[in-house]
Amino acid sequence: MSRRFVLASASVARRRLLTAAGLPPEVVVSGLDESTVTAPTPGALARALAVAKARSVATRLSGDALVLGCDSLLELDGAGYGKPASPEQARERWTLMAGHDGVLHTGHCLLDLRRGSATREIATLASTTVRFGEPEPDELDAYLRTGEPLAVAGAFTLDGYGGWFVEAIDGDHGTVLGLSLPLLRRMLCELGVRVTDLWTTEPGA
């Protein structure tokens, strides 16, 4: 029997990815002040933010539910980058990224809430290496005008306009989109939940 599945994220890409895979989530945005969460590395911070978001949303729910929190950060030369605050900042990021490799980290935290039982929690990290192309100045200007870089960690997407400027990836593409489906399936299995039992439609329907 399908259970309530809550995505603790405002990310359209994550919601779209889950929906396309047969698991349209209920979205509850955490509203977390991310500046209150710290960690020693970009990867650890992405994981810590995912945990904080999932826990924040869980406190507002009642009854049985599965709650998924996610957060993504791009690591370049040891520094972590989330969403740029302005087009100027996005341009600066692309100056660093163009022609180089970065690592996109996505933290995942899955909570199993059941009445009368202690909450079970699994938190882990997925990381994928991204090789960036070198957009021409006018191409970068056009990309910044789309507004897309301001809405995503690392100032790029893989499945939108930014995909034109990504040469290759090494790892799960879902991690770059903001959610690794294979990793989530393994997390669900660890909690004794089969992802196929959560599907709302049969394949091919």
- Rounding to the nearest 10 degrees, give the CA dihedral for residues 196, 200, 203, 205: 160
Nearest to 195, CA basis, from 94, 66, 51: 66
Look-up of token digits 């933290």:
107
Reduce the secondary structure of 105-168 to three states and give it as a string.
EEEEEEEEECCCCCCEEEEEEEEEEEEECCCCHHHHHHHHHHCHHHHCHHHCCCCCHHHHHEEE
* 71 is annotated as an active-site residue: yes
Give the pairing type, strands 65-76 and 5-7: parallel
Catalytic residue among 71, 138, 159, 170: 71
What lies within 8 Å, CB to CB, of 186 at 6+ separation is none
- Gyration radius (Cα) of the chain, Å: 17
The residues that are catalytic are: 71
